[in-house]
Structure 1
């Protein structure tokens, strides 16, 4: 890394998210004396400065000077830094399980869990436990002599007066500004996870515009060598740009990936298991990765946005909450059930969850689009935000171009009328990079029929699923194994397995079990498959160089 880049970048410490003992700090005050364990100083993530001197990036830090603990996170709180604090004890860590291993209180937060089982995420600063929280956006925790304060929180943007064309131009210019800063901050190799959608494609095309292509683009899917529509769209844009494209398509142990993901995301998400191939790939690459998080929500691609905007204009925030819960329930449920995991794992709490979610949405009533603002500060921050810090945390560094402060403020302040048609990002990409506008997105490709799976696949999957359930050491192992084999009449198999494993991880969770889960994740990482790549595209010039022509 050049001297200029080192000056621009403040944090480059890699936190191996698969290690047995994650970074942590804990202190206890007794009789006027303080005993401490863990790292007294720690900086995590990647922070770099904007031209105005404002911090950018996804990062966290804490320091203990012998009397005072100060812990902080990035301005948008996308680095989930967990903490527990009361009059006598305090602890911070990027791993919730590590805090429990350090002795944090494990009293369950039933309201937060009622929301999780209905939406698939935690909102505000909640976790599964009453006394373990995450620092809020721009959060700062100060603890001294048994007294603590926490400051920070989301901001509610005011509407910006701007034309549609002005919004398109602003989107192009601010994304370019953000990418320029990142490429100045990181001068070594970059791996770009590339989907079939807008966000990562925009990043790739901007890298080409700035004259610095990634080492390779990487797309994961689970269809073996038969590329699905997303992989085919990603391949098409790589061919158009002339950049290497790597496909990770080998069949995986779904149960193993689910369990690893639950531990990596600190029991705060029901998603991301599909990203484990990329997680394992990045672990063996000395490269930074770029994540397109937040690009979608800042340009309103959500098909429910219009309905929710109308409900918000009438002040019906509970109505938005009800529809969000119903939508999530339909996605994870069998057609005959449709009600999701809430009635199964947190029964009788529908009204409580709806009221809590509705109140959280109402906090953004003055925003140009209350639903967009809520989703940015909740699902994108609390669930999708676990991707850069946990799922991609195996990379040498992570950068999130759409979380540049000026870009976020711009996106959240756009009037709904300029994002209403859901074409803002399409228009920006087409205008900024006309040479590639002919390349379709994922919707322009169809999935090819899959070959029939190995006849022993179901048997091996069942055995592996039981193995992972037993690795959690449930209180009733035979019952859990039988229930797993029986399947669920209410939830799709994958969702049923996620929530079953999640509940088992929570079951009787204490310090010793937390340590076992962390050690289990480290063992599963160590035994991961290195056979990941199923297909590689090399542009002609690179292929000639590689072959020595």
Structure 2
């Protein structure tokens, strides 16, 4: 007999059950969202262990007891300064325990989550090798990451994601993430051969932006209103059309959109945080989005070195449930932590609020931001060359990319046995001739399904 306690936010999925019968409903949801919902997998008989549960496995039979943690909103009123200090102690304790004396590999961006990690690692005097990457032909997003590394005294690597890197790595990626995420998002795969020589353990900043922010809604939203918000958040552009088309192709009963809406509503009602819509939506995302989408591609890092994810720590989740919502809104806690521990880091431009930093971002509004916006527009007018902004542009556009994409989409007999070539080609043609932004997600999901069927059917 074996006992398993799943984390509140698992960093990897634990599968139970056999891979026998395709779960068409689950695959339709996957096509719409880009991740499987709840404990779904590709197969009816196989499930994923749910977060924050105790399981007993005995002779192949798996039994779940009551969850040992349930997301809640029990704010303890105290001064904001005290909350920031509590976060500092907890965050640094978690990182200290996670990395110890090992050399840390730190992916950096111009945002707040990895900057907060850099701050803690520097304060704790850890040996860190940092890196960042930008799209080839895109805006230089490594500029602020390099400044963060320089302030902290970290070694730093500046990488460019090359056009079409996916095609010589896609089979490996499919094996690593099990085809449980589309292939255009995990940019880290481009540099998988580089990580091992950089250090001993990853420190990853995933999910800080969800835990330490509000959800942008009024706290008194009704359940129906919350479901409507969630529906818009989780369904990708073109995803509903693809899922609905597959639903009809497989002769499923009812209407896919109604089915998905009711599933979202049912899962939301189980959370039961009536006093705060923000807390309830945050809990929903942490239960169903983080482990089934965000965590999937953590496997790429873990394929090379052990990973640590401080924002995933059970204690951090419990802490969030005690923080008044007014302090979570607007990333206030991380911002004040950075100002408190390392003002020089806070003075570096916040990429999402360019050209302002953590002391001045409040001025990112008219009329204060007009000089920057005018100058930026002039630069774009004088240099009208298109900048790569999205992952799929590097993978799907251009002659060689199109050749590779069409081959995998349309010349896979195992895929064609489940999804007709005509259906796949119809979406590919819409991507080519109607709206590449809108149909990039359906094409990406069909590519993912193609690799899944090739490896599993």
Indicate the residue corresponding to 1:462 in structure 2: 402
412, 415, 423: which is aligned to 1:474? 415
Indicate the residue corresponding to 1:87 in structure 2: none
How far, CA to CA, are the matches of 2:217 and 2:158 in structure 1?
Answer: 36
Alpha carbons of structure 1 residues 385 and 151: separation in structure 2 relative to 1, 3 Å: farther
2:182 corresponds to 1:266: no
Q: CA offset at residue 108 of structure 1?
A: 0.6
How far, CA to CA, are the matches of 1:462 and 1:146 in structure 2?
Answer: 45
2:164 corresponds to 1:248: no
Q: How does 1:503-522 map to 2 (within 5 A)?
A: 503-505=449-451, 513-514=455-456
Indicate the residue corresponding to 1:235 in structure 2: 146
Alpha carbons of structure 1 residues 242 and 158: separation in structure 2 relative to 1, 3 Å: same
SS at match of 1:192: strand
SS at match of 1:380: helix
Larger helix fraction of residues: 2
SS at match of 2:83: helix
Indicate the residue corresponding to 1:393 in structure 2: 302
Indicate the residue corresponding to 1:412 in structure 2: 321
How far, CA to CA, are the matches of 2:401 and 2:63 in structure 1?
Answer: 48
Indicate the residue corresponding to 1:310 in structure 2: 220
Q: How does 1:121-200 map to 2 (within 5 A)?
A: 121-145=35-59, 147-151=61-65, 153=67, 154-163=69-78, 164-184=80-100, 187-200=101-114
Q: CA offset at residue 391 of structure 1?
A: 2.3
Residues 255 and 497 in structure 1, CA contact (< 8 A), matched pair in contact too: no
Q: CA offset at residue 170 of structure 1?
A: 1.7
Alpha carbons of structure 1 residues 297 and 464: separation in structure 2 relative to 1, 3 Å: same
Residues 261 and 272 in structure 1, CA contact (< 8 A), matched pair in contact too: no
Indicate the residue corresponding to 1:424 in structure 2: 333
Alpha carbons of structure 1 residues 298 and 402: separation in structure 2 relative to 1, 3 Å: same
Residues 227 and 261 in structure 2, CA contact (< 8 A), matched pair in contact too: yes
How far, CA to CA, are the matches of 1:182 and 1:142 in structure 2?
Answer: 27
Larger strand fraction of residues: 1
Residues 103 and 201 in structure 2, CA contact (< 8 A), matched pair in contact too: yes
How far, CA to CA, are the matches of 1:143 and 1:177 in structure 2?
Answer: 33
SS at match of 1:501: helix
351, 359, 363: which is aligned to 2:266? 359
Q: CA offset at residue 452 of structure 1?
A: 8.2
How far, CA to CA, are the matches of 1:482 and 1:358 in structure 2?
Answer: 33
Residues 362 and 370 in structure 1, CA contact (< 8 A), matched pair in contact too: no
Residues 83 and 135 in structure 1, CA contact (< 8 A), matched pair in contact too: yes
Question: Number of aligned pairs?
Answer: 406
Q: CA offset at residue 322 of structure 1?
A: 2.5
Q: How does 1:332-343 map to 2 (within 5 A)?
A: 332-333=237-238, 341-343=242-244
How far, CA to CA, are the matches of 2:166 and 2:412 in structure 1?
Answer: 11
Residues 73 and 273 in structure 2, CA contact (< 8 A), matched pair in contact too: yes
Q: CA offset at residue 410 of structure 1?
A: 0.5
SS at match of 1:346: helix
How far, CA to CA, are the matches of 1:451 and 1:421 in structure 2?
Answer: 32
Q: CA offset at residue 419 of structure 1?
A: 1.7
2:401 corresponds to 1:500: no
Indicate the residue corresponding to 1:30 in structure 2: none
Alpha carbons of structure 1 residues 501 and 451: separation in structure 2 relative to 1, 3 Å: closer
Q: How does 1:39-118 map to 2 (within 5 A)?
A: 68=1, 73-84=6-17, 104-108=19-23, 110=25, 112-118=26-32
Residues 220 and 248 in structure 1, CA contact (< 8 A), matched pair in contact too: yes
Q: CA offset at residue 353 of structure 1?
A: 0.9
SS at match of 1:221: strand
How far, CA to CA, are the matches of 1:381 and 1:457 in structure 2?
Answer: 31
Q: CA offset at residue 403 of structure 1?
A: 2.3
Residues 118 and 325 in structure 1, CA contact (< 8 A), matched pair in contact too: no
2:287 corresponds to 1:371: no
2:175 corresponds to 1:279: no
Alpha carbons of structure 1 residues 417 and 481: separation in structure 2 relative to 1, 3 Å: closer
How far, CA to CA, are the matches of 2:245 and 2:165 in structure 1?
Answer: 22
How far, CA to CA, are the matches of 2:408 and 2:77 in structure 1?
Answer: 53
CA RMSD, 1 decimal: 3.4
SS at match of 1:137: coil
119, 128, 134: which is aligned to 1:221? 134
Q: CA offset at residue 293 of structure 1?
A: 1.7
Q: How does 1:21-40 map to 2 (within 5 A)?
A: none
